[in-house]
Amino acid sequence: MNKIKKLLNKFFFLLYFKFLYKPNYEFNEVDEVAVIGRGKSANYYFEKFQNSPKIVALVNFTDQDLKEIDIQVLKSKEIFLFFNIEGNPLSLKYLLSLNIKGLMRTSNDDYGLYKKRKDYKRLNILQKLYLDRLPKYPKHLNDFMYLGNGGLISIVYMINYFKPKRVLLFGFNFYQSKMISNSSFSNSVNEDSTVLRKAGVKLIQNFIHICNLFNNIEFQRYDDTQIENVSNLKQINTGF
């Protein structure tokens, strides 16, 4: 049943992208953007930041995630939706509810080589369409694919596009604490997941590297998981 639902969601995702998606190609520099990952502290944004900022990136969100939060908070926002091509896409219900101005993959993984693999030949027509048609991460940012994480890659994209003075981060716990929901995409992400916790240590290092690389930008990270301090990073506890 879950496989059928996932395929249907991908089908409607394709239809949405083909016929209903109306991206905004005229971006101006802004003071601040919010990037929201799927850690538990994402809730802090929906409870405390309802009026700011206007530009919001959602990273790998699923239907189950949106069921857990007050989606009305997003009604007046310009949403940039980042998704993992192997994950569960949002259903048409949520795609139509959000003011989506940007849609972007976070998993290019050497796309050209992938198509030559035997795995690609075994995909059905819908799966191939889904893989081939949806927007890919910009080639001029491919040097950042080594970050190996949708959230970090999304941060770089938003910085490149909007040239913000501040980047507000919610739900970035780097697998060190709980997720916003227990959807199928995150069943393995919990406090006892030793493998993911270890992987998170590397992600933290990569995040610090981003802060140092874009040292003209102020990063505000809202989460109770404490990491290394750098001069342009503010860390705010949330209670989540």
| Those residues with Cβ within 8 angstroms of residue 55's Cβ, 6 or more apart along the chain or in another chain | 30, 32, 33, 34, 77, 78, 80, 158, 162, 164
| Domains, the chain | 2-20+30-236 (3.90.1480)
Q: Which residue has the tokens 């995909």?
A: 123
HSE value, Cβ hemisphere, 13 Å, CA-based, for 148: 10
Give the Cα-Cα-Cα angle 190, 183, 2 (nearest 5 degrees). 135
Beta-strand relationship, 100-105 and 166-170: unpaired
CA dihedral 228, 137, 141, 34 (to 10 degrees): -40
Q: What is the mean pLDDT of the chain?
A: 84
Task: Check residues 205 and 26 and name the one with the higher pLDDT.
Answer: 205
pTM as predicted: 0.87
Rounded Cα gap, residues 174 and 212, in angstroms: 18
Task: Check residues 240 and 172 and name the one with the higher pLDDT.
Answer: 172
Average pLDDT, integer, range 196-223: 93
Predicted confidence at residue 119, as pLDDT, reads 66
Predicted confidence at residue 50, as pLDDT, reads 77
Average pLDDT, integer, range 13-41: 86
Predicted confidence at residue 10, as pLDDT, reads 82
Least confident of 5-14, 119-128, 145-154: 119-128
Closest among 152, 132, 134 to 208, alpha carbons compared: 152
Lookup: tokens for 23: 């991206």
Lookup: tokens for 80: 């940039």
Rounded Cα gap, residues 164 and 18, in angstroms: 30
Predicted confidence at residue 11, as pLDDT, reads 83
| Those residues with Cβ within 8 angstroms of residue 20's Cβ, 6 or more apart along the chain or in another chain | 95, 96
Least confident of 91-95, 180-184, 230-234: 180-184
Q: Which residue has the tokens 């493998």?
A: 195
Rounded Cα gap, residues 137 and 1, in angstroms: 31
If you count them, how many residues does the chain have?
240
Task: Check residues 4 and 150 and name the one with the higher pLDDT.
Answer: 150
**Bridge partners of residue 55, in order along the sequence:** 78
Least confident of 57-66, 74-83, 92-101, 196-205: 196-205
pLDDT over 80 at 37, yes or no: yes
Q: Each residue of 157-199: pLDDT tens digit?
A: 999 999 999 999 999 999 888 888 754 344 444 445 677 778 8
